[in-house]
């Protein structure tokens, strides 16, 4: 369903009528770099956990069958809707959602960024919006709690995540089984470039963006922001968005994206529950960082921020 096939004449990739550039393997150092094959899963989640889980399971397996070893689910894939729906679907990290994520990551031998779930933390009155990285060993390798809560108004609809969620307070970089640096973010974080810069400085080569962007903000801002964060930081972005309508008439815009460090869209999802895949050539990334050394040219002495750059 979500696989993108190369055009035999141009080498571009097409899906849903969109032609997409394909980046091949690039020479880096003395050898030829290997590509990480990544996938973004696009879902229409609602308040039915069993249904959401079954769809996620099917699409993660399809992505693995397409060769993906790094898979990203969207935001709140377990339960999405108004505050009461999210609260009703909240789980702990020892619950069924993360249990499944650990099991399927081990079974399929992949790194799974399990989107985000509404996490219930014992002793805390509010939930957390929590992203978990499960590795091919079946263990939890990183836990990130969304830093920026979505308290905004879009098209006359007020969203107030802070009414039932508490923001996190930690920047989280994790590593895939092959050592690739993976930065963890969630949805609204995309509008805060300082988080992405911090992740890149700490060594992120790929940044995951599990999301549930509204229809309006997907239409007008989504691709611009995803491509900008990739270009600014010389990183691949794997941005998995929700698609479609959920009660009470709220809509997400889809168009999940995989973007390279030059801002080129490697894969884009059609308007359906699906998966997309692309090769992330780390040699290409490091070549771009050498030609456009913005990370090394930062001025933390003037502007602040971490002084060290891991590239």
Q: What is the CA radius of gyration of the chain?
A: 18
Q: Where are the beta strands (DSSP E) in 193-304?
A: 206-208, 236-239, 243-246, 250-253, 257-259, 265-268, 274-281
User: Which whole-number Å values give the CA distances from 57 to 41, 51, 77, 199, 279, in the listed order?
Assistant: 10, 10, 11, 29, 22
Beta bridge partners of 142: 133
What distance in Å separates the CA atoms of residue 63 and residue 274, rounded to the nearest whole number? 9
Question: Are the C-beta atoms of residues 267 and 258 closer than 8 Å to each other?
Answer: yes
> From CA 72, how far away is CA 111, in angstroms rounded?
9
* d(C-alpha 10, C-alpha 146), whole Å: 40
**Is 163 in the active site?**
no
From the candidates 75, 119, 205, 273, which is the catalytic residue?
75
Residue of 76, 187, 205, 273 with catalytic role: 187
Active site residue 75: yes
The one catalytic residue among 76, 146, 161, 235: 146
Q: Is 131 a residue of the active site?
A: no
Catalytic site positions: 75, 146, 187
């Amino acid at each position: 369903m979500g696989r993108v096939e190369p055009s035999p004449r141009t080498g571009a990739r097409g899906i849903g009528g969109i032609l997409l550039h394909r980046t091949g393997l690039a020479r880096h150092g003395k050898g030829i770099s290997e590509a990480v094959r990544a996938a973004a899963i696009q879902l229409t989640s609602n308040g039915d956990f069993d249904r959401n889980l079954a769809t996620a399971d099917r699409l993660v397996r399809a992505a693995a069958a397409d060769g993906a070893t790094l898979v990203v689910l969207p935001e709140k894939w377990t339960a999405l809707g108004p505050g009461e729906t999210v609260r009703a679907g909240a789980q702990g990290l020892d619950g069924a959602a993360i249990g499944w994520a650990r099991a399927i990551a081990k079974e399929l031998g992949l790194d799974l960024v399990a989107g985000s779930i509404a996490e219930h933390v014992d002793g805390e009155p509010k939930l957390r919006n929590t992203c978990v990285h499960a590795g091919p060993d079946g263990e939890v390798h990183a836990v990130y709690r969304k830093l920026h809560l979505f308290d905004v108004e879009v098209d006359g609809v007020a969203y107030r995540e802070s009414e039932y969620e508490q923001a996190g307070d930690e920047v989280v970089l994790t590593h895939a089984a092959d050592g690739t640096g993976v930065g963890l973010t969630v949805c609204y974080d995309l509008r805060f470039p300082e988080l992405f810069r911090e992740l890149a400085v700490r060594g992120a080569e790929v940044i995951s963006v599990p999301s549930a962007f509204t229809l309006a903000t997907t239409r007008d801002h989504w691709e611009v922001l995803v491509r900008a964060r990739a270009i600014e930081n010389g990183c691949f972005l794997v941005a998995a968005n929700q698609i479609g309508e959920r009660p009470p008439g709220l809509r997400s815009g889809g168009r999940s994206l995989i973007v390279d460090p030059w801002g080129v869209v490697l894969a884009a999802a059609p308007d359906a529950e699906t998966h997309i895949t692309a090769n992330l050539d780390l040699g290409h990334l490091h070549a771009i960082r050498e030609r456009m050394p913005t990370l090394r040219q930062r001025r933390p002495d003037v502007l602040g921020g971490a002084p060290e750059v891991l590239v």
